[in-house]
Homo-oligomer: A and B are copies of this chain.
Amino acid sequence: MRSPVSRESAKAGLPPGTLVHVGTPRSEKVRITVFGYDEKDFNERETRAEDCADALKKRAVTWINVDGIHDVAIVEKVGTLFGLHPLTLEDIASTHQRPKMEDFDNYFYFVLRMPYFQRRGGRIHAEQISIVLMKNAVVSFQEREGDVFDPIRERIRRNKGRIRKCGADYLAYALMDAIVDNGFAILETLGERTESLENNVLKEPDPAVVREIHALKRELILLRKAIWPLREVLANLSRDDSPLISKSTALYLRDVYDHTIQVVETVETFRDTVSGLLDVYLSVVSNRMNEVMRVLTVIATLFIPLTFLAGIWGMNFEFMPELEWKFAYPVVLGIMILIAATMLIFFRRKKWL
């Protein structure tokens, strides 16, 4: 709960543009990989921050990927090499941004959030991914080494699909597409959990269900918050008439836009379902409670009057003539059975049994 806020507030008072890493502290070495490619060939290597701009212009498209942003010195070096605005650098280093697009004169800056399941606890977290789209290059910044972009690397290496034939805008699109498609994978897992929760609620409701519903709701909100603002980003992008985005790529962006809406709509449907589950759970619990109460009522209502009768003839008064009657006992038992039977019929009429 605290994380999106707690560190941001540590910056309060610093002049804007100050480069401070805001996010989970990490100690891994920052890894910078450079991909250069055109339709004919590609090359791929790991490099130091100082050298990453060298690759530019050797190939039609250059993709620089920075894994790890906790070393702000490296982010700053890369940023300076590519002429990024101080606000962009600050946003890259503050990992709790809302997805957005900013249009600087010579580049587009995208902030995206990629939800993933934490190894421990299995709860959803969202990693911030920054993408800077320039004329012939894409620079991407990830919080941690991830594998969501591996299929794209593979497509570049093997020249699969259109990627090697298109420009940097198509690469940026491919990265965004990978992130949105990753949302479907998350949704699949959440869908399975919703479904199993649904079965639990209807079959054997136990109090843990309430916590799970609460947790699921929060994860759906987190997923929604990560994907929802993308909608606006992509809508603006396709309306935009920038030379950085070619017309053919715009068609593909429309496609990601559709996927974004689909993710958000499915999240909403899941939220509706999960909210509905709480109602179902509460009414299932209340039905069970009623059943319990009905049994108590029937037993108590049946035996309390009979016990009273037994108590009457258990009194020690000297002058209780019926005590001496010969058939008093069986008659009394008969009367008791009669009363019980009458009550049972009454209960059955009332549908309490």
Contact indicator per residue, chain A 88-105, by CB within 8 Å of chain B (1) or not (0): 000100001110101000
Inter-subunit contact B207/A284 (CB<8 Å)? yes
Chain A interface size, as a band, is 35 or more
Indicate if A73 sits at the interface (CB-CB under 8 A).
no
Inter-subunit contact B314/A191 (CB<8 Å)? no
Inter-subunit contact A279/B278 (CB<8 Å)? yes
Tell whether A324 pairs with B313 under 8 Å between CB atoms, given A16-B252, A303-B304. Answer: no
**A76–B307 alpha-carbon span in the complex (Å):** 82
Copies of this chain present: 5
**A192–B282 alpha-carbon span in the complex (Å):** 27
Contact indicator per residue, chain A 190-228, by CB within 8 Å of chain B (1) or not (0): 011011001000101001001100100110010001000
Contact indicator per residue, chain A 212-255, by CB within 8 Å of chain B (1) or not (0): 00100110010001000000000000000000000000011011
**Contacts of A330-347 to chain B: CB distance below 8 A:** 332-333
* A43 CB contacts on chain B under 8 angstroms: none
Tell whether A295 pairs with B297 under 8 Å between CB atoms, given A308-B303, A328-B317. Answer: yes
Inter-subunit contact A320/B311 (CB<8 Å)? no
**Nearest opposing residue in chain B for A254, CB measure:** B102
Contact indicator per residue, chain A 173-201, by CB within 8 Å of chain B (1) or not (0): 01001100110110110011011001000
Inter-subunit contact B207/A211 (CB<8 Å)? no
**Nearest opposing residue in chain B for A330, CB measure:** B319
Inter-subunit contact A12/B185 (CB<8 Å)? yes
* A214 CB contacts on chain B under 8 angstroms: 276-277, 280
Inter-subunit contact B311/A9 (CB<8 Å)? no
Inter-subunit contact B296/A301 (CB<8 Å)? yes
Inter-subunit contact A289/B290 (CB<8 Å)? yes
Cβ-defined partner of A181 (8 Å) among B9, B218, B272, B293: B9
* A324 CB contacts on chain B under 8 angstroms: 318
Q: Can you pick out 28 interface pairs between chain A and chain B where the beta carbons lie within 8 Å of each other? A: A1-B192, A1-B198, A4-B262, A5-B187, A8-B181, A9-B187, A9-B188, A12-B151, A16-B252, A87-B255, A97-B262, A210-B287, A214-B277, A217-B272, A218-B273, A225-B269, A282-B286, A285-B287, A289-B290, A289-B293, A303-B304, A303-B305, A303-B307, A303-B308, A312-B333, A313-B316, A319-B325, A319-B326
Top-5 shortest CB links A-B: A15-B161, A13-B151, A310-B311, A12-B181, A9-B184
